């Protein structure tokens, strides 16, 4: 374990109150440029389930009565047709002109819970990724074992808290972030003043902006975590 990551084992006490009051947003509006023949990526088949079905299954095993919001955009009608009950759909109608920040905003503004977790829509992960963490404070999931690819966004960490997200860093962000308390208020303030330029920002740029405004994100590398971004055809193997 790296000196700047925090592991929470299944034996340690975790908060269940926040888990029961959390919106989980899956950001699935974008186009998968590296696997265009399979887009949207949410509908890629892994075994007998789509990627989105795997995500929803893992989420449902970790949270009590979760509010799951899927933000769709590219070929939204295909995703909507495949969806079953228990998941809310929010459409980013300007996905071609915006980025993950706008999908975050749409999910956040439609949330009916008091805590907010977002993840990118191209992640394939096991339940330990979400289960072996403490939901009493805001956090991000990180990877020091090269499960995420070299090209992904990394982060620097001080005293177990994220300090900056950027490309070219060895410790990788797993594209999952949870917000509660002060961080929720900061995010709300950002989205209340959102303009067209900010709608083109990436999700990690929103996290950087939040940190500059005083947000603190604990860094967790959960025990027995397995996570992969489905970005290329060879990832499916």
Give residue-wise pLDDT tens across range 90-107.
999 988 898 999 999 999
126-155 residues labelled b (16+ CB within 10 A) or e (exposed): bbbbbbbbbbebbbbbbbbeebbeeebbbb
Query: What's the pLDDT band for 225 if we cut at 50, 70, 90?
Result: very high
- Mean pLDDT value across the chain: 86
The token duo for 2 is 């790296």
Query: What's the pLDDT score for residue 80?
Result: 81
Q: CA-to-CA distance for 218 and 96, rounded, in angstroms?
A: 32
pTM (predicted TM-score): 0.88
Query: What's the pLDDT score for residue 13?
Result: 42
pLDDT above 70 coverage of the chain, percent? 86
19-229: CATH topology is Spore Coat Polysaccharide Biosynthesis Protein SpsA; Chain A (3.90.550)
Give, for 115, the enclosing helix (H) or strand (E): strand 115-120
| For residue 79, pLDDT beyond 90 | no
Q: CA-to-CA distance for 214 and 221, rounded, in angstroms?
A: 23
| For residue 165, pLDDT beyond 60 | yes
Contacts of 175 (CB under 8 A, 6+ apart): 119, 120, 123, 152, 153, 203, 229
Residue 24, CA distances (Å) to 9, 42, 119, 214, 216 in order: 22, 16, 8, 23, 19
Burial class (CB in 10 A: 0-12, 13-18, 19+), 235: middle
Query: What's the pLDDT band for 8 if we cut at 50, 70, 90?
Result: very low
């Amino acid at each position: 374990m790296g000196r700047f990551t925090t592991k929470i084992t299944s034996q340690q006490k975790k908060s269940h109150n926040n888990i029961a009051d959390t919106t989980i947003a899956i950001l699935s509006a974008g186009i998968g440029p590296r696997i265009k023949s399979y887009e949207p990526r949410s509908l890629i088949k892994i075994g007998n389930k789509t990627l989105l079905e795997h995500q929803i299954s893992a989420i449902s095993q970790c949270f009590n009565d979760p509010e799951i919001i899927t933000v769709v955009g590219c070929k939204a009608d295909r995703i909507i047709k495949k969806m079953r009950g228990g998941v809310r759909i929010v459409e980013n109608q300007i996905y071609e002109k915006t980025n993950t920040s706008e999908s975050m905003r749409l999910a956040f503004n439609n949330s009916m819970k008091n805590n907010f977790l977002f993840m990118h829509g191209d992640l394939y992960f096991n339940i330990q990724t979400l289960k072996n963490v403490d939901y009493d404070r805001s956090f991000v999931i990180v990877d020091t074992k090269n499960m995420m690819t070299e090209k992904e966004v990394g982060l620097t960490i001080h005293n177990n808290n994220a300090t900056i997200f950027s490309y070219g860093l060895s410790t990788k962000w797993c594209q999952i972030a949870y917000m509660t308390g002060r961080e929720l208020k900061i995010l709300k303030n950002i989205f209340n003043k959102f303009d067209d330029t900010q709608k083109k920002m990436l999700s990690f740029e929103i996290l950087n902006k939040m940190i500059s405004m005083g947000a603190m994100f604990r860094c967790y590398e959960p025990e027995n975590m397995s996570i992969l971004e489905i970005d290329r055809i060879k990832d499916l193997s």
